[in-house]
Structure 1
Amino acid sequence: MSAELNQNYDPKEVESKWYKAWEKKGSFEGNVQNGKDSFAIMIPPPNVTGILHMGHVLDNTLQDIFIRRARVEGKSSLWFPGTDHASIATQHKVEKALRDEGTSRYELGREKFLERAWEWSDEHGGIIFNQLRKLGASCDWRRSRFTMDTAYQRSVQASFVEFYNRGYIYRGKRLVNWCPASQTALSNEEVEMRPQRGKLYKMRYEIVEEPGRFVEISTTRPETIMGDTGVAVHPNDERYADLVGKHCWRPFPRAEIPVVADRSVEKEFGTGVLKVTPAHDQVDFDIGKRHDLPLIDVMNPDGTLNELAGEEFDGMERFKARKFAVQKLEELGLLIDAEDYDNSVGFSERGGVPIEPRLSEQWYLKYPKVEEAKRAVEKGIIRFHPKRWEKVYLHWLNNIQDWCISRQLWWGQRIPVWYAKGADRSDSANWHVSVDGPSDPENWEQDEDVLDTWASSNLWPFATFGWPIEDQKVKAELDYFYPTSMLVTGFDIIFFWVARMIMSGLELMGESKEGLTDEEIAQRIPFKDIFIHGLIRDAKGRKMSKSLGNSPDPLDLIAKFGADGLRFGIINIAPSGSDILFAEERIEIGRNFCTKLWNACRFRQMAGGAAEGQSLEAIIDRLAGSQLEGYGNWILFRLLQTMEEIEGQFARFEMHQLTHSLHNFLWGDFCDWYVEAAKAMLQSKDDPRHDAALAVSDLVIRQSLLLLHPIMPHITEELWQAMGYSVDGEFLQDAGLLPAAQLRELLNAKSVSIDAEGARQIELIKELITQARATKAEYNVASKRDVTLFVTPTDDSCATLIEANLDTIKRLAGAASIELVEAVENLPGSVSALGTVYLDLSSAVDVEAEKERLSKELEKLTKAIQAGEGKLNNPSFVDKAPPQVVEGVRKQLLETKARRDEIARLLKSL
């Protein structure tokens, strides 16, 4: 039912009202609807401890745009929400709270600790969902999943069992990223590389077979000397060829260690000699394996040194041990030098401390269906947008290594492996692997570890439905919505999440089978399209963070600009796949666009004859048989063009271009041109063109609201209802958006023909008006409406077209009169395709006053040019000033000279 619009748009009231109405009606529910195309998106699950930040705003706005577009196109659409338990992040927060209470997880015990973790998750888990509601996210909230829900945990453990039974999971002792603070293995994604200034220590080891001869070695980690079991040189390094096969003395604890030749040694780094510590460095570990060197682990899980490091070091913190090792080298006369050294060091993202490569027994997954995962992208079965991210994805798959999936944590899905009590755990014959555990639990002990968070989220597209599924209704839902339509995510987790979901889907969504066909791949993949967006940075290109104070609170921005304003603004500045430079003033365009749209609809209401409850067909019926005047024909032509543009932009995933097209059409074409040109028709009911102009306005506004709805859902719903376009109280999303081609057919069927040549003629008239406005602006009379313009038409047909539109041209150009003449001399003008338009200066400006103003400006510009040339001719300035400053002066000088020449031209014309 239509309603009179308030003078001003209040986003707070409108957004809250409609979101509640949509939820109450079940507008976001995705259900199986046979005969309808399905469209599904799985939300990248935010951490249960998370709160809304600008990255979420971008990511979820993009998803909402796609899901709402699918709804207005009539598809059965499902946006599946959920949160991730974020095992290490959540455990870190809970452990910090326990430390503040003077206790620890070990004092509480596993069961009590997990109770506290659940309390924490329950308290914080719904915060981000409520914030997403404020953004307008249209998720099917009744389906919300949490990766620690009982059903989801069973899915994760079932995947472990399935992978194990298919031969992909094994247990092994290897080097892992180790966080001494959290005392767990970490994935590469959880390691943050930070630039550090440290020391490069040059020391010398004595040759055992040649007393008094030393080999010089450079290292950044003298605290691991005690774990050295070899020294390595490059086989082609002639400096050390005679040492290969001999031995060095390790300084402490003193021991003979062999000199080996290995191609992984960088001859140019340091001295070209490497101390090999296989238990504390990945490169060294690989060298040790190739040369059968022993492994000596000298470090405890908490980052202190153990008894294998020697009595002096036992129990010492690792960085204190570094200083002590340097001191001992100096005392032994083995330290040559210590120079400043800049390098990147891996830090535990959550623990905030440097990680340690540590030898540890862990569970590993050999990635399944790697070749099929590559083929899916190479053959276009899965498509990346932008396409360039395919290379990143394929590069990682071509260099893939087995995945350490176990974590030494308590919060997470516990590994479903039990060991026979008292038996050898290294023997798999003593293992029981199942979801439910052994039938005689008293004789077994479950593995203490939990699975890596990514080992649960990699099942997200199908575990959310309860895979493996026995319930037929749920299976029908999975069959209907899987594979999902698309994934929207950032490029930073292509490896850690996107690729893993693809491989897991290919392996688990069907029977175990080698060598899938393309058809089978298409049935098993988790999604068909992957839309990769960039990261949001501040205006200086810096990553947003609380510590820098450059990360705005999205809720503050919603309060200031409205959710729709924020959504439009953030997409408008987000080029496909590239980082986004955020500045608050760049978001204002969204709020301003809301205001412009609101005012355009208010103007249409004030023109009368509201389209109460009129469908698209009813509005077109009002146009049937009418002869469209020039601007009416042109704006409908532009409407169809814009619809086709947007269809192409969705197909090409060009979301920021989508906002530009809509802004250009609604603000530029409709408000600034059509409404202004048609005001006389719209405001006078006696004008024979009045009814057709109202119908044209209704058709444009109605279709524009449908086009805009995915980006700005709240204001478009408010206007849809208020303008009377809703039939029987339907929501906008249920009205159905026809493709441009079908709308054109509907118009043709009602004899509403749209003439492309007529639209082209209006574009020519617009160009003439634009040139007239530009000429007025040059002489500071843009706002004057009593000027006289002269036009010399290009030819007779142009003269006819101008004369037919003379009243409109006068009104929009702001002229009291326009005269068509054959020639004009000594007047300023601008050229257009229809002809040249001149400004009658005698009617526009006080010539003497304008001469005086321009002369003064010319004098100022001349002095500025002299000053700039003086700087650039001064060797002291050019040689000593920073290059960017000198370049800035050069650029400013060129701009000032161009302005001077323009002012001189204007003076001459006067």
Structure 2
Amino acid sequence: MELDKSFDPHSIESCWYPFWEKEGLFKARHLPSSKPYAILLPPPNVTGTLHMGHAFQHTLMDALIRYHRMRGDNTLWQAGTDHAGIATQIVVERQLEAQGTDRKTLGRESFLEKVWQWKEQSGSTITRQMRRLGSSCDWERERFTMDEGLSRAVNEVFVKLYRQGLIYRGKRLVNWDPVLQTAVSDLEVVAEEEAGFLWHIRYPIVNQPGEFLVVATTRPETLFGDVAVAVNPQDERYQSLIGKTLQLPLTNRQIPIIADNYVDSSFGTGCVKITPAHDFNDYQVGNRHQLTPINIFTKEAQLNDQVPQDYRGLDRFVARQKVLDEIEAQGLLAESKKHTLMVPRGDRTRSVIEPMLSDQWFVRMEGFAEQALELVASEQIRFIPENWTNTYNHWLTNIQDWCISRQLWWGHRIPAWYDKAGHVYVAHTQAEAEALAANSDLTQDEDVLDTWFSSALWPFSTLGWPEQTAELATYLPTNVLVTGFDIIFFWVARMIMMTSHFTGKIPFQEVYITGLVRDAHGQKMSKSKGNILDPIDIIDGIDLDSLVKKRTSNLMDPKQAKAIEKATRNEFPKGIPSFGTDALRFTFASLATHGRDIKFDLQRCEGYRNFCNKIWNATRYVLMNIPDHQIAYTTPPKVFNFIDQWMLSQLNQSIKEVTDHFTSYRFDLAARCVYQLIWDHYCDWYVELAKTSLNTSDENIQYSTRYTLIHTLETVLRLAHPLMPFITEELWQKVSPLVGKHEKSIMIASYPEFLSQHVNKEADQQIQLLKELVNACRTLRSEMNLSPKDRVPLYISGNTNQLTSFTEHLVHLARLSEVVFVDNQSLENTSASVAVVNEYKLMLKVEIDIAAEILRLNKQIEKLNGEITKAHQKLNNPSFVDKAPIEVVNQEKVRLSQFEKQVHELTQQVARLAE
């Protein structure tokens, strides 16, 4: 039954995960007698790898699933991956480019074969990494958004929404990526602050020679798409010009001057060019004033045939300079000044996103948004922390129709067919469309659906919808969604909309929004900054050269790579050591506050790796001190001594706290409570106290101690298991037979239940007194430079009746030769160091340096005087006295009295020493 001397996380991790999976312990059990508990895994991209944000969120989800599984709930952690249309297509296109070809050369069908090959080859990387993290998903139910079943659900939803009049095709303004040549969602657009210019251009006023309206713009190349110039109706400078006409520079067109409250009179000149086809705000202005937009760009962001001949075919930025040159030559450039602006770029291609009028498919959002707002307002769905409800409400209150079409090949192809006349037929299959059209000469729409469309169906498509399956009836709604704040609108809100519309149920009861994992300095982790940490590297360790190579290999800028290499070598001179999965998971849990940002520091991992070692060594000690491993300690002792009562009291109070913290998603507080229980209460105090009890000749005390040692250890292993699955499984397998438990895994053992009868305040107070006395003795030993080998007598005065029950423990823990009870008078006239603990005075009987002791006592008096000053300030503050609870005020008065009493006694002692 002995354990290895040292804890090796890799050996146990490689052993236990395959065992769990082989034994089917992750499966949803469908127990009719238990309540369902389900969590949806936010489906990571099929081509992705496990980054720190994934690892953080997956740790929290797995902790919840393991906790509820142990509580006997019918648990399902629904796993799966997303086909990630744009991301995956880019990866495969780059592979083809390296081979000297492209998708258009291959053709659609051959290209899609390549994508599927890539998905099969590399698509399961993240699920393999999830297994390394201990994620206990029901892998047999793993889904992929392009699976046959999920694709059927996507097709069904599209057709139904179209026939309900909730999907339509129209020409609208979208985010256009000229490199990908597709519309992209707002989430795929990164607005970055960049240095640019603000140009002031003179627009001649028609029929008023020599008079101009000066327009400020950051995009002069879009001038050819101008359909008006707008001013604020309250701007007195321009009120007389509203309704007049301007000559659009470099063209033969004339455009009106209009009034709109959108215009900020204080920005630029207070005159804004309105280009509805290439600016989202201008598009809204154009709609309000019935202005016809003019699209001047091709899909490649080159100027088209709507512009003068000399500009056609020019790249937009080449055209910008040509426009500026010609305007300046005509004397129409009034001013050019530097200006910092937000530039939208595609997160995949880094190209500048172009607002573009395009024929796209849309979902009408108005009714959906109202329903989604009501479900949260009525608290059928709850956000945690609650403040994220405001973000959700703000987005849905200002919602626009959802563009769901993408000009890609990889994805769910839109189930719409066209005849030669351009009539559209939406159907489940081409045969159905042909029947609707009474025409077999139909062409299917080339576009695919936005990835967010299929992932919006995730709560019910993964459970078998549109079939009315047992899983759908059992697990919908799921209990909690764990996700980031950045996709509340793009994913969370849309799941709420689609699930309620198609199933009549909510998708989840609670939404737990996690913070963003940043580096130790609070910086966002990114490849460009070179501060990314790979969770697998933290688990396994990585040498310095490999870490440098990993962070710099894909960087194009040699200077940037050099700077990142230098920073990496400074921060990790020896690389990253191996911490193991449990230490990483416990670190994540300890950081899971309800704040927005999380600073990840590897020093915490080091501390929690030491915590694993502490648990391991404590278990070794306990097993070595159980004389017969064939006997199970199933019968409680007739009477627990007060030390055992204290341990059981601390254990049960901790069980209640941890349970409460899991319920409120305070993983950080749960981790802290588990840590304090195991390290402080059990290892540092109870195990040490037990050593004295085990050495007694009283067999009843020995049995009580061994019973409490082994039962507490077995219980804390179950308590910690959701956070630290591997080490707790390994140790529990050794410990559980000794308490009569024979389940095949700790995973399906019951989670500890709070037993109020074991909470013993009297025992808590006794051990608290013992701790304070031991700590006071240790402080005296330190100040007197006594080595651990020096055993000296302790002289103590006070109510000694309370101390007789634990004198032997005090001797052991404080390394004393004996404890001598004396009266106060005996210690008042001594020149030795005296410590004060409540009503007790303590003195170690050794020769001392009087001068040094006076200095020590004066420092202690100075510190106590500082506390007295603080207490007086509080008690003299009417705001504190009037508003604080009476028990808090009384507690402060008691503290003040104790401080003053200690200062009086210490001052007398200094006086005696100085005589």
Q: Under a length normalisation based on structure 1, what TM-score does the superposition of the two structures give?
A: 0.86
- Residue 783 of structure 1 deviates from its aligned partner by 4.4
Q: 2:734 matched to 1:722?
A: yes
Kindly provide the CA deviation profile for residues 158-215 of structure 1, in whole angstroms up to 9, marking residues without a partner as x.
1111222222111111111111111111111111111111111112111112110111
Match of 2:583 among 550, 553, 565: 565
Change over 3 Å in CA distance of 1:782–1:802 after alignment to 2: farther
Change over 3 Å in CA distance of 1:739–1:442 after alignment to 2: same
What residue in structure 2 maps to residue 433 of structure 1? 427
Which amino acid is the alignment partner of residue 666 of structure 2? E
Distance of 2:525 and 2:414 partners within structure 1? 36
Alignment of 1:657-806 (within 5 A): 657-683=669-695, 687-725=699-737, 727-728=741-742, 730-741=744-755, 744=756, 755-781=760-786, 783=788, 785-793=790-798, 796=799, 799-806=800-807
Query: Which one is further off, 57-66 or 88-97?
Result: 88-97
Alignment of 1:43-62 (within 5 A): 43-62=41-60
Q: RCO greater where, 1 or 2, for CA within 8 Å and sep 6 or more?
A: 1
What residue in structure 2 maps to residue 477 of structure 1? 471
What residue in structure 1 maps to residue 369 of structure 2? 370
What residue in structure 1 maps to residue 193 of structure 2? 195
Change over 3 Å in CA distance of 1:613–1:654 after alignment to 2: farther
- Residue 399 of structure 1 deviates from its aligned partner by 1.8
Which amino acid is the alignment partner of residue 601 of structure 1? T
What residue in structure 2 maps to residue 112 of structure 1? 110
- Residue 34 of structure 1 deviates from its aligned partner by 1.1
- Residue 907 of structure 1 deviates from its aligned partner by 11
- Contact kept, 8 Å, 1:768 with 1:834, in 2: the verdict is no
**Following superposition, which runs of at least 4 residues in structure 1 exceed 6 angstroms of deviation?**
848-855, 904-910
Q: Secondary structure at the match of 2:321?
A: helix
Q: CA RMSD in A?
A: 2.4
Distance of 1:334 and 1:729 partners within structure 2? 85
Q: 2:628 matched to 1:585?
A: no
- Contact kept, 8 Å, 2:2 with 2:624, in 1: the verdict is no
- Contact kept, 8 Å, 2:425 with 2:433, in 1: the verdict is no
Distance of 1:263 and 1:408 partners within structure 2? 35
Q: Secondary structure at the match of 1:371?
A: helix
Change over 3 Å in CA distance of 1:570–1:439 after alignment to 2: closer
- Residue 269 of structure 1 deviates from its aligned partner by 0.6
Match of 2:218 among 206, 215, 220: 220
Q: Secondary structure at the match of 2:75?
A: strand
What residue in structure 1 maps to residue 623 of structure 2? 605
- Residue 439 of structure 1 deviates from its aligned partner by 5.9
Distance of 2:518 and 2:196 partners within structure 1? 29
Distance of 2:144 and 2:514 partners within structure 1? 25
Matched residue count:
817
What residue in structure 2 maps to residue 400 of structure 1? 399
Change over 3 Å in CA distance of 1:300–1:809 after alignment to 2: same
- Residue 53 of structure 1 deviates from its aligned partner by 1.1
Alignment of 1:177-326 (within 5 A): 177-326=175-324
What residue in structure 2 maps to residue 822 of structure 1? 824
Change over 3 Å in CA distance of 1:286–1:679 after alignment to 2: same
- Residue 906 of structure 1 deviates from its aligned partner by 13
Q: Secondary structure at the match of 1:588?
A: helix
- Contact kept, 8 Å, 2:43 with 2:79, in 1: the verdict is yes
- Contact kept, 8 Å, 1:237 with 1:267, in 2: the verdict is yes
Query: Which one is further off, 407-416 or 322-331?
Result: 322-331
Query: Which one is further off, 278-287 or 801-810?
Result: 801-810
Distance of 1:176 and 1:108 partners within structure 2? 28
Kindly provide the CA deviation profile for residues 124-180 of structure 1, in whole angstroms up to 9, marking residues without a partner as x.
111111111111111111111111112211111111112222221111111111111
Change over 3 Å in CA distance of 1:123–1:115 after alignment to 2: same
Change over 3 Å in CA distance of 1:787–1:461 after alignment to 2: same
Q: Secondary structure at the match of 1:7?
A: coil
Q: 2:506 matched to 1:525?
A: yes
Distance of 1:837 and 1:531 partners within structure 2? 52
Kindly provide the CA deviation profile for residues 524-575 of structure 1, in whole angstroms up to 9, marking residues without a partner as x.
0011121111011011111112222211221121111111111111211231
- Contact kept, 8 Å, 2:833 with 2:843, in 1: the verdict is yes
Which amino acid is the alignment partner of residue 816 of structure 2? A
Which amino acid is the alignment partner of residue 648 of structure 2? L
Distance of 2:430 and 2:752 partners within structure 1? 52
- Contact kept, 8 Å, 1:788 with 1:816, in 2: the verdict is yes
Distance of 1:392 and 1:98 partners within structure 2? 42
- Contact kept, 8 Å, 2:200 with 2:217, in 1: the verdict is yes
What residue in structure 1 maps to residue 813 of structure 2? 812
Match of 1:42 among 31, 36, 40: 40
- Contact kept, 8 Å, 2:736 with 2:742, in 1: the verdict is no
- Residue 687 of structure 1 deviates from its aligned partner by 4.8
Q: Secondary structure at the match of 2:278?
A: coil
What residue in structure 2 maps to residue 534 of structure 1? 515
- Contact kept, 8 Å, 1:483 with 1:526, in 2: the verdict is yes
Query: Which one is further off, 276-285 or 365-374?
Result: 365-374
Kindly provide the CA deviation profile for residues 589-611 of structure 1, in whole angstroms up to 9, marking residues without a partner as x.
22111111111110001112356
- Contact kept, 8 Å, 1:209 with 1:246, in 2: the verdict is no
Change over 3 Å in CA distance of 1:581–1:738 after alignment to 2: closer
Change over 3 Å in CA distance of 1:839–1:727 after alignment to 2: closer
- Contact kept, 8 Å, 2:303 with 2:313, in 1: the verdict is yes
Q: Secondary structure at the match of 1:622?
A: coil
Structure 1 residues without counterparts, runs of 5 or longer: 511-523, 856-903
Distance of 1:370 and 1:828 partners within structure 2? 73
Distance of 1:786 and 1:202 partners within structure 2? 88
- Contact kept, 8 Å, 1:610 with 1:724, in 2: the verdict is no
Distance of 1:499 and 1:561 partners within structure 2? 38
Change over 3 Å in CA distance of 1:551–1:402 after alignment to 2: same
Distance of 1:645 and 1:711 partners within structure 2? 15
- Residue 699 of structure 1 deviates from its aligned partner by 1.2
Q: 2:621 matched to 1:622?
A: no
Distance of 1:214 and 1:792 partners within structure 2? 97
- Contact kept, 8 Å, 1:532 with 1:577, in 2: the verdict is no
- Contact kept, 8 Å, 2:714 with 2:736, in 1: the verdict is no
What residue in structure 2 maps to residue 348 of structure 1? 346
Q: 2:491 matched to 1:490?
A: no
- Residue 389 of structure 1 deviates from its aligned partner by 1.4
Q: Secondary structure at the match of 2:277?
A: coil
- Contact kept, 8 Å, 1:787 with 1:815, in 2: the verdict is yes
- Residue 714 of structure 1 deviates from its aligned partner by 1.1
Distance of 1:94 and 1:829 partners within structure 2? 77
Q: Under a length normalisation based on structure 2, what TM-score does the superposition of the two structures give?
A: 0.86
Distance of 1:731 and 1:286 partners within structure 2? 61
Change over 3 Å in CA distance of 1:644–1:340 after alignment to 2: same
Which amino acid is the alignment partner of residue 613 of structure 2? T
Structure 2 residues without counterparts, runs of 5 or longer: 541-577, 859-906
Query: Which one is further off, 367-376 or 207-216?
Result: 367-376
- Residue 652 of structure 1 deviates from its aligned partner by 1.1
Match of 1:555 among 524, 536, 557: 536
Kindly provide the CA deviation profile for residues 445-493 of structure 1, in whole angstroms up to 9, marking residues without a partner as x.
11111111110101111101221006xxxx1121111111111111111
- Contact kept, 8 Å, 1:569 with 1:588, in 2: the verdict is no
Which amino acid is the alignment partner of residue 731 of structure 1? S
Which amino acid is the alignment partner of residue 835 of structure 1? Y
- Contact kept, 8 Å, 1:175 with 1:280, in 2: the verdict is yes
- Contact kept, 8 Å, 1:438 with 1:444, in 2: the verdict is no
- Residue 232 of structure 1 deviates from its aligned partner by 0.7
- Residue 778 of structure 1 deviates from its aligned partner by 4.5
- Contact kept, 8 Å, 2:162 with 2:426, in 1: the verdict is no
Distance of 1:906 and 1:215 partners within structure 2? 89
Change over 3 Å in CA distance of 1:774–1:573 after alignment to 2: farther
